[in-house]
């Protein structure tokens, strides 16, 4: 199934007009004709089965024949991840996490962050593309970057974890997970969290966890954590 994304469609919509760029792609590149069936999601759980009734490169119009709703999972994954030195590595994380099934992502600025300014212009497009490619009906929420100290002051429900590299007592993440809960996992920058940040997280109820026996890059650790949550609930 080839999936399209239209955030403004809801269960009351009868027809939809694609913008010029998407219309050209549908008609000229995909060679869709009047009568062709398209599948569209609004990223909020709905799948719409639509039929093209005007196939123009400038204006492709579909009528909605049927809608299906997918219930959200009984657990959620919130990955709170420091930016990587190279922006493309963070983009890789976003893509793979969306494919695996992340629900929410928050970039955090830490004491040891080499990158303090995050350019998020491409991030939304990457998440949308990954959602469509993996045939999912929910678009992950991407929050604005925030300082870790400010994030730790927020009220967070569910299980809260921090993965750091200091030699302290830690339990494997897979052994900490209680199924069908809301999960939040903090992943630090290449230079790890500072000792002060770790202590603040622990004081705010975050449990220290390990992600295996090897030292992982930031983006790799984030993917391992995200996948561990999904596997624990399958």
Give the Cβ contact number of residue 203 at 10 Å: 9
Instruction: Clarify whether residues 16 and 115 are in a common domain.
Output: no
- CATH number, domain with residue 84: 3.40.1280.10
Instruction: Clarify whether residues 210 and 94 are in a common domain.
Output: yes
Instruction: Clarify whether residues 130 and 225 are in a common domain.
Output: yes
Q: The tokens of 73 are what?
A: 């999972």
pLDDT band at 169 (very low <50, low <70, confident <90, very high): confident
Gap between the Cα atoms of 229 and 179, Å rounded: 8
pLDDT band at 165 (very low <50, low <70, confident <90, very high): confident
Instruction: Clarify whether residues 136 and 199 are in a common domain.
Output: yes
Instruction: Clarify whether residues 129 and 220 are in a common domain.
Output: yes
Q: The tokens of 47 are what?
A: 């799948």
Average model confidence (pLDDT) across the chain:
94
Instruction: Clarify whether residues 46 and 154 are in a common domain.
Output: no
Q: How many domains does the chain have?
A: 2
> Minimal CA–CA distance to 3: which of 63, 43, 34?
43
End residue of a domain, out of 69, 97, 127: 69
Q: Is the pLDDT of residue 19 over 80?
A: yes
pLDDT per position as a tens digit, 40-99: 999 999 999 999 999 999 999 999 999 999 999 999 999 999 999 888 999 999 999 999
Q: The tokens of 215 are what?
A: 């030292």
Instruction: Clarify whether residues 123 and 225 are in a common domain.
Output: yes
Question: Helix, strand, coil: what percent of the chain each, to 5?
Answer: 30, 30, 45
- CATH number, domain with residue 64: 2.40.240.20
User: pLDDT at position 120, please?
Assistant: 80
pLDDT-above-70 percentage for the chain: 100
Instruction: Clarify whether residues 118 and 34 are in a common domain.
Output: no
End residue of a domain, out of 40, 69, 98: 69
Instruction: Clarify whether residues 8 and 118 are in a common domain.
Output: no
Instruction: Clarify whether residues 47 and 106 are in a common domain.
Output: no
> Minimal CA–CA distance to 129: which of 92, 181, 159, 165?
92
Instruction: Clarify whether residues 110 and 148 are in a common domain.
Output: yes
Compare 201 and 165 and report the one with higher pLDDT.
201
Instruction: Clarify whether residues 83 and 195 are in a common domain.
Output: yes
The average pLDDT across 18-47 equals 94
Following CA atoms 6, 9, 14, 20 in sequence, which dihedral angle do they give, to the nearest 10 degrees?
Answer: -30
pLDDT per position as a tens digit, 115-141: 877 878 799 999 999 999 999 999 999
Q: Is the pLDDT of residue 112 over 90?
A: no
User: pLDDT at position 168, please?
Assistant: 79
pLDDT per position as a tens digit, 175-193: 999 999 999 999 999 888 9
End residue of a domain, out of 46, 69, 92: 69
C-alpha distances out from residue 187 to 32, 58, 80, 99, 202, Å: 44, 44, 6, 19, 14
Q: Which residues partner with 208 through β-bridges?
A: 162
Q: Which residues constitute the domain of residue 36?
A: 3-69
> Minimal CA–CA distance to 229: which of 175, 156, 165?
175
């Amino acid at each position: 199934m080839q999936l399209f994304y239209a955030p403004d469609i809801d269960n009351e919509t009868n027809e939809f007009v694609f913008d010029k760029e998407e219309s050209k792609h549908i008609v000229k590149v995909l060679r869709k004709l009047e009568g062709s069936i398209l599948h569209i999601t609004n990223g909020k759980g709905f799948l719409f089965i639509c039929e093209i009734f005007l196939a123009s490169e400038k204006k492709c119009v579909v009528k909605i024949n049927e809608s299906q709703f997918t219930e959200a999972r009984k657990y959620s994954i919130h990955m709170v991840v420091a930016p990587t030195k190279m922006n493309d590595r963070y983009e890789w994380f976003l893509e793979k996490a969306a494919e695996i099934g992340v629900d929410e992502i928050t970039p955090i600025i830490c004491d040891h962050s080499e990158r303090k300014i995050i350019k998020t212009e491409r991030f939304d497009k990457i998440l949308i593309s990954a959602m469509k490619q993996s045939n999912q009906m929910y678009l992950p929420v991407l929050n604005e970057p925030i300082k870790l100290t400010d994030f730790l002051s927020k009220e967070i429900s569910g299980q809260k974890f921090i993965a750091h590299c200091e030699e302290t007592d830690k339990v494997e993440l897979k052994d900490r997970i209680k199924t069908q809960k809301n999960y939040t996992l903090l992943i630090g920058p290449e230079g790890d969290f500072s000792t002060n940040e770790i202590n603040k997280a622990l004081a705010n109820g975050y449990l220290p966890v390990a992600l295996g026996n090897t030292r992982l890059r930031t983006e790799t650790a984030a993917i391992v954590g995200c996948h561990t949550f999904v596997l624990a609930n399958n």
